[in-house]
Structure 1
Amino acid sequence: MTRNVTGHSGDSGGDGRDRDGEGRARNARPRDGLGRPLPYGAPGVARQPEGVVRGGEQTVREAQRLLDAGMPFHAHEVFEDAWKSGAEEERELWRGLAQLAVGLTHAARGNAVGGARLLRRGASWVGGFAGADGVGPYGIDVAGLVAWAEALAGRVDQGVDAAREAPRLLGA
């Protein structure tokens, strides 16, 4: 996406907002690892491409890579793609995982109240996918994630480092 002289990209919209190639409003500012906007021209972290269709195992693998790198905002986008493109019966799982990742994002940004709320909401959605052994689809450690989210939600006001606090999606 390129920006024109008036401060917005493309020639559609006319409202001064950045636009993607299809004319949809989309902020073109670079982002940091937690998805926070940086000034135009600053080096940022590459965004996750949107609308990528992955299988469940590939989604979990890519999201774990991003979580381990301290980029839960980007992991959230991977889960969001699965939520939007996956099988109907798994949408709540992916939505819950996206909420956990964005909850970690908010907690790491210092938004303790929002982070705790999102962590608890995500845990409630994901929790229903646990089998008798606590494991869900694709080997996801549902019981472990729920416990992690509840514990982190209880202490987000103490400060959170996204990379150190990253959950293990597949357990130990």
Structure 2
Amino acid sequence: MKERDRDGEGRARSARPRDGLGRPLPYGARGVERQPEGVVRTPAATVTEAQRLLDAGMPFHAHEVFEDAWKFGPQADAPLWRGLAQLAVGLTHAARGNAVGGARLLRRGAGALAGHGDAYGIDVAGLVGWARELAGRVEAGEPVDAAAEAPRLGGRPGRG
């Protein structure tokens, strides 16, 4: 039986490299650098780093940044960051060609964010509209390019 990959603290964590959409690659392949886990950032730093990753077509990695904010930031902000993480994962699935999972997570994230007002410069209402519109296009079979569809967290969401 193969020993599981572990991180420096002994937790199970795959050491396989990943591509920009978070798909595992074969051991030894050249992948993109993974986001470190458990990084505590200010809300502004979270938004900046997540936007950089979204713009680079790496929504899976942006989701990890949002996940850190939801798990290690103030509990009152957790629903906001969790909803944003769901949008990033929805975009990831859509870009991977998983229309059902992509649309489902985009709609779930939009629903989670729908009751929130703007916070930390994030255009929550605009993101909700972007996610619902993209979910409809994904369900209609439109291919999705993660970088081209990356939302703007502040200001006008989407590239279209």
Q: TM-score surpassing 0.5?
A: yes
- String of CA shifts for 1:88-142, please: whole Å, max 9, x gaps: 1110000000000000000000000000000001011112112xxxxx1111101
Query: Which of 31, 38, 45 is the aligned partner of 1:58?
Result: 45
2:7 alignment counterpart = 20
TM-score using structure 1 length: 0.87
1:164 alignment counterpart = 148
CA apart distance, 1:15? 5.1
1:142 alignment counterpart = 124
Alignment of structure 1 residues 1-172 onto 2, 5 Å: 16-130=3-117, 136-156=118-138, 157-172=141-156
1:7 alignment counterpart = none
Runs of 5+ unmatched residues, structure 1: 1-13, 131-135
Using CA pairs under 8 Å that are at least 6 residues apart, name the structure with larger relative contact order, 1 or 2. 2
Give the residue type in structure 1 aligned to 2:119: P
Give the residue type in structure 1 aligned to 2:110: A
Q: Bigger radius of gyration, 1 or 2?
A: 1
For structure 1, which segment, 86-95 or 68-77, has the greater mean C-alpha deviation from structure 2 after superposition? 86-95
CA RMSD of aligned residues (A): 1.0
Runs of 5+ unmatched residues, structure 2: none
Identity percentage over the alignment? 77
Detail structure 1 runs of 4+ shifted over 6 Å in the superposition: none
TM-score using structure 2 length: 0.93
